[in-house]
């Protein structure tokens, strides 16, 4: 019975097991495949992945915070996108090899109501999810600026991807704002940690917050009140998860079944 799982630290809050189990069920594979969650500390990450790959019981795993960059670094093979992004959220164990891929990039693009080609986007953060967002948007022809609380890391990331860095961005200048940071996940005030205020948003913008909580995040609530189109982290989770499932099984899972499971 091939095993699948999401690996992170912490990972107990993840809705991936419910979502991917629903996907397997819709594909008629629930009796053959399983999907769980494994909490792995950074110091144990490489050893754990090596053990899972060697044991032969797992077909692959999803990777979440804080392991995405370590995942691509230790892989035997990686797709062009994973190498270019420098982070992986999907590992496949095949023929004794660890193969890295990144479905965050494709999941982001599939989550958007439209692609702001030629317009400006602001990406908040500098972790693995930010790397995927920057690469995907820039590759699609969007003009990207990066903001990060630690300026040196933000500038380094912007230089790596040949995009702009903004220490004090004006949110109204952007057709798309993507929050890739974990701010808000623990219930803290996002506006105290991000270069945004509740009145920063304007009608016609698209605002995507990768944080997912029971209720719309404060960031998305303010954006919606201003007339912006909002996309929450659950939609992003579903879209990237569907791409991962297709990699492992070769089948296209039901997006609706996955959405229902994560919003239950």
The two tokens of residue 26 are: 């819709």
- Decide: residue 198, CB within 10 A, 0-12 exposed, 13-18 middle, 19+ buried: middle
CB count in 10 Å sphere of residue 250: 8
The C-alpha torsion from 198 through 180 and 120 to 80, rounded to 10°, is -170
Q: How many residues does the chain have?
A: 264
Active site residues: 68
């Amino acid at each position: 019975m091939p095993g699948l799982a999401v690996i992170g630290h912490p990972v107990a809050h993840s809705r991936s097991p419910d979502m991917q189990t629903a996907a397997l069920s819709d594909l008629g594979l629930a009796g053959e495949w399983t999907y769980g969650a494994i909490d792995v500390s950074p110091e144990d990450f490489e050893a754990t992945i090596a053990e899972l790959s060697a044991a032969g019981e797992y077909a692959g795993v999803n990777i979440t915070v804080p392991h995405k960059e370590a995942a691509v670094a230790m892989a035997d093979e990686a797709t062009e996108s994973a190498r270019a992004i420098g982070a992986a959220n999907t590992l496949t164990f095949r023929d004794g090899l660890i193969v890295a891929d990144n479905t965050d990039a494709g999941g982001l693009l599939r989550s958007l109501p439209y692609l702001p080609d030629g317009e400006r986007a602001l990406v908040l953060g500098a972790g693995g999810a930010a790397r995927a967002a920057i690469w995907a948007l820039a590759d699609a022809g969007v003009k990207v600026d990066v903001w990060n609380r630690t300026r040196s890391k933000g500038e380094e990331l912007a230089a790596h991807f040949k995009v702009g860095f903004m220490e004090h961005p004006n949110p109204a200048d952007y057709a798309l704002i993507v929050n890739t940071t974990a701010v808000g996940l623990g219930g803290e005030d996002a506006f105290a940690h991000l270069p945004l205020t509740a009145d920063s948003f304007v009608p016609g913008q698209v605002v995507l917050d990768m944080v997912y909580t029971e209720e719309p995040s404060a960031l998305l609530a303010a954006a919606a009140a201003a007339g912006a189109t909002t996309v929450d982290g659950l939609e992003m989770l579903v879209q990237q998860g569907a791409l991962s499932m297709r990699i492992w099984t070769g089948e296209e899972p039901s997006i609706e079944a996955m959405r229902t499971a994560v919003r239950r």
